[in-house]
Amino acid sequence: MQNILVTGGAGFIGSNFIKYILKNYNYKIFNYDKLTYAGNLENLTDIEDNANYKFIKGDICELENVKKVLTDNNIDTIINFAAESHVDRSILGSREFIVTNVLGTQTLLDIFKDLKLEKYLQVSTDEVYGSLPEDRKELKFTEQNPIKTNSPYSASKASADLLCNSYFHTHKLPILITRCSNNYGPYQFPEKLIPLMIAKALDGEKLPVYGDGKNVRDWLYVDDHCSAICEVLHKGKIGEVYNIGGNNEWYNIDIVKLILKTLKKSEEQILYVKDRPGHDRRYAIDSSKIQNELGWKPAYDFEHGIESTIKWYIENESWWRKVMSGEYLKYYEKNYASKVK
């Protein structure tokens, strides 16, 4: 393994992953991203001149384009982060989710098969397992749990997982799947819970909380997700699924209160709003397989992870202000478009 195509590398987890892998390994990384509203090259300014890094603008659904990028750059490995990733948006309209998450994955798999590359890793989510009851704390998602999707987003991610599995079985391809719980950390698009609440709290606005706020999510610091993906990439058993999680369940409302407390803001800023349709009640991941078989464990505890994340959003206010105003969309034109051959 030498040359890796990271799709969706301008998004939240992809950009953190590229920095993580460049820092810890000696691979050449090709970041292939369509730059949808969620792709932001400003996430990568500190490494954009790294000799082991190259950005290529493109869509994973464009077969000929992806094929050319792979062959021109001698790429042997694909890690697929590219996706439409926001559940709320999938409720408003699911087409883009099916196109990118399902057809895009199928396109990558076909090319992977044709070019006989070395390894393919699909970055998936715990949301494919559906929802757990709130009062059965002993229940967590294991890799054996059936797929039971409730949102168009999770249905599209599950479809992609099933395709990966089918290409492994039918075509005997070296494919791996990871399913991670909710991530938090720097550079997360401020439509997602933690950065949205931090931004609203800092601006003295109301913090909208769905329903009774008692939905439970299992939070993991983004760098821990990145280290887990590297472990699976290097040591994972081909054809297997690996759950990744921090054993760190929180009610949404408690996360919101913690953010307000850390920022010394009043809980009066909380505004309960009508629940999201089909809102899954509880996610909790059993990550004993990756811990026992691959020796991975999270390095960050939540107390420090959330504290440093809140500090990051305070110190990088201009980053999220540019995202919220849409100004970040000009970055590619300003800094890249003229350099692209």
Interface residue list for ligand NAD (CB under 6 A): 7-8, 10-14, 33-36, 38-39, 59-61, 81-83, 85, 100, 104, 123, 125, 157, 180, 182-183, 189
Q: Which residues of 147-173 are buried (b: 16+ CB within 10 A; e: fewer)?
A: eebbbbbbbbbbbbbebbbebbeeeeb
To the query of whether residue 303 is one of the catalytic residues in this protein, the response is no
Shortest Å distance, C-beta 127 to ligand NAD: 7
Which residue lies nearer to ligand NAD by CB, 135 or 333?
333
One-letter amino acid of 113: K
Of 52, 49, 51, 55, which is closest to residue 15 (Cα–Cα)? 55
Shortest Å distance, C-beta 264 to ligand NAD: 27
Shortest Å distance, C-beta 34 to ligand NAD: 4
Among candidate residues 84, 127, 218, 224, the one labeled active-site is 127
Which residue lies nearer to ligand NAD by CB, 21 or 82?
82
Query: DSSP letters of 78-122?
Result: EEE------HHHHHH--HHHIIIIIIIHHHHHHHHHHHT-SEEEE
Among candidate residues 59, 84, 126, 161, the one labeled active-site is 126
As a whole number of angstroms, the distance between CA 181 and CA 167 comes to 25
Residues β-bridged to residue 244: 180
As a whole number of angstroms, the distance between CA 245 and CA 64 comes to 36
Which residue lies nearer to ligand NAD by CB, 82 or 260?
82
First-to-final CA distance of the chain: 27
Shortest Å distance, C-beta 85 to ligand NAD: 4
Which residue lies nearer to ligand NAD by CB, 61 or 310?
61
User: What contacts 237, CB < 8 A, 6 or more positions away?
Assistant: 293
Three-class SS state of 317: helix
Which residue lies nearer to ligand NAD by CB, 259 or 269?
259
To the query of whether residue 127 is one of the catalytic residues in this protein, the response is yes
Among candidate residues 129, 153, 184, 187, the one labeled active-site is 153
Shortest Å distance, C-beta 306 to ligand NAD: 14
Tell me the catalytic residues. 126-127, 153
